[in-house]
Structure 1
Amino acid sequence: MTQARKPRPPPGSRLTVGEITDLFRRLRAANPHPTTELEYTTPFELLVAVVLSAQATDVGVNKATRKLFPVANTPAAILALGEDGLKRYINTIGLYNAKAANLIALCRQLLERHGGEVPRTREALEALPGVGRKTANVVLNTAFGEPTIAVDTHIFRVANRTGLAPGKTVRAVEDTLMRVVPEDFKRDAHHWLILHGRYICKARKPDCQHCPIRDLCRWPEKNHPGEQTRAA
């Protein structure tokens, strides 16, 4: 006698509280200690790397900072390079002209207002040139251990596809995630969701066959065993 097949959850619905807990348990089991793929050793290096990462890949940023940080990895040292000097290290990154200008202004403000240290509050971080809410969330979470969630394109996609935290805007998704993610998982949720979106729940060719949360996912376009993968 064959066992009855478990019904698939309805497409487009939200995950239940129990399913959300199960989702993060599985992501934690697969990667117990997630972290950013940006290379850094200090909060300031992380801040610089995150500013540079806007509309750029972590791989591309790391290639640039491997050359920059041995030469200049403090606000004073980068300020001493000057805008043109800084550009020589980051000119392989998209929007490097604007990013160089922002980083010089950021370093000057850190020295003038914060004693050269990266501030630990959202308000102070968002007041820095080139730093928005997403960058502030990354720094607060990764450098200082705050339970913040920075919603980038990967997290926005995963949250909407799976039914974890559907929302039409980045801020709406962030607010929902902060409400529904259990406290035990909130510290690392940012990294788990980014990595899942980067390597499994990809935009064009999601790897549903190897997805650890496929049975929970509410995305109507997801494929099941034996089905061909369809792009988003």
Structure 2
Amino acid sequence: MRSSVFLYATYSLCVGLGLLCVLFVTYWSSHWNGGFAWDHSALQFNWHPVLMVLGLVVVYGNAAVLYRLPFTWKQNKLTWKLVHAGLMLLALLLSVVGLYTVFDNHTTINIPNLYSLHSWVGICTVALFALQWILGLAGFLFPCSPLWFRGSLKPVHVWLGKMILILGLSSCISGINEKLLFTHNESSAEPYSTLPVEAKFANFLGILLVAFGLVVFGILSKNKWQRPEPDVESVRLLQTDNNTRI
């Protein structure tokens, strides 16, 4: 009982930090960078940090811990697989639209694409995310997928899922720093070295993202918070292995 209360308290912290991340990045883009538009301008670019934080970190992180919630344990796992896959697809689509906004803006004003480490990490993260979602769909939701494929894919799926979150956090944090360096360069009225109010605000956004990631990984690291009953794939694999030995 105490474990469940602590889990729900930790999950509530996860949700709260995620909401703060979205609110902070939205306020940053609207207050200091002019707001939002869909006209190939710099205002269209402002959708990029909002969508990447929302999709690649907040929605993704909450989808990753979905199976850890006790109220899902006594329900049909297939239902929650579909919810998990749907949330991950939403996170992927938000990330792809976020990439489109920056590519479209750069093309319109003749800025090169993929010229920084931030952009390289970001594009690789979304590509790995797309591959992860396709493999997960093929391995865990298609009823015709071979049992050996499901068994082999599961540890890779878990490991790659954690790595994608780490890469997503890295790309968002490096993107915040890159944006501040470009906005407050040495020729600006408030250079970044003076740490203006916008820089303090955006740096705190980075701290919120780190805190959110730590809480998500804290939930995922607790073995006693895993879904207690074995999944169908594991049981069927064990039965198949026993039959083979006999």
Greater helix share, structure number: 2
Q: TM-score, normalised by structure 2?
A: 0.23
Q: TM-score, normalised by structure 1?
A: 0.24
